[in-house]
Amino acid sequence: MTYTKKHYRVVLIEPSAIISAGIQELLKPYKEFEIIAVLADCSHYTERIRNLNPNLIILNPMIIDFKYRHCVEEIFNGKEEIPLVALVYQYIEPEILKHYKAIIDIADDQGKMIRKLSQVVDSNPTTPATPENELTEREKEILISVAKGMINKEIAEQHHISIHTVITHRKNITRKTGIKSVAGLTVFAILNNLIEMQEVE
């Protein structure tokens, strides 16, 4: 089954390098969403938006100065309204979140996150994960170890398996998730409730 042929230019604004890198990896398999810029803050954003010309903005609301959080649309939107999606992993007042078209919570799994983005841009829902792409319990264990920053030798020792077996598991994890980087796999593990944020260095 193919995904929608529509194409959306996404700007991601998130101060955490590991979260922003992970979101990029999670979106990479979904070709309709192209992250064209990653910003750590909102400084000079209005000057850059003319050149970036995004269709969608994923934004951590906490980086907006408190006194401007209730008028966030006015900050980011010019002549055309650009949908704003809140990226949330701590408590934010509901009144502030009302200014966003959708809310991506760190507890959302990958499929739920993609469905929310698809609904915002009015594209077709994405295909849910198939059983053959689901991680086995052992692969989940290996993924958790990777997310904790362990190298292959440490993972092998912890799970009493060979390094070759660890590498095989990691290849399978990458094939099933479509994610290659450690940062991306870490966020995948967090979003799928395999590990808590405080467990990640």
Instruction: Encode pLDDT of 72-90 as tens digits.
Output: 666 666 545 788 899 998 8
Tell me how crowded residue 115 is: count the other CB atoms within 10 A of its CB: 16
Check residue 75 and give its pLDDT: 63
Q: Do 40 and 106 share a domain, yes or no?
A: yes
Last residue of a domain, one of 87, 120, 153: 120
Q: Do 49 and 84 share a domain, yes or no?
A: yes
Q: Do 82 and 107 share a domain, yes or no?
A: yes
At 1, is the secondary structure helix, strand, or coil? coil
Nearest partner of 194 among 116, 111, 137, judged by Cα = 137
Last residue of a domain, one of 65, 87, 120: 120
Q: Of the ranges 50-64, 101-115, 124-138, 161-175, which one carries the lowest mean pLDDT score?
A: 124-138
CATH number at residue 18: 3.40.50.2300
Q: Do 93 and 186 share a domain, yes or no?
A: no
Summarised one tens digit per residue, pLDDT across range 89-138 is: 888 888 888 888 899 987 777 788 888 888 888 643 444 444 556 889 99
**Residue 157 structural domain:** 131-199
Nearest partner of 12 among 34, 37, 29, judged by Cα = 37
Last residue of a domain, one of 120, 146, 164: 120
In a domain, 149, yes or no: yes
**Cα–Cα distance for residue pair 144/133, rounded to 1 Å:** 17
The total of structural domains in the chain comes to: 2
**Cα–Cα distance for residue pair 55/148, rounded to 1 Å:** 34
In a domain, 145, yes or no: yes
Summarised one tens digit per residue, pLDDT across range 5-39 is: 578 889 999 999 888 888 888 888 888 888 998 98
In a domain, 155, yes or no: yes
CATH number at residue 151: 1.10.10.10
In a domain, 125, yes or no: no
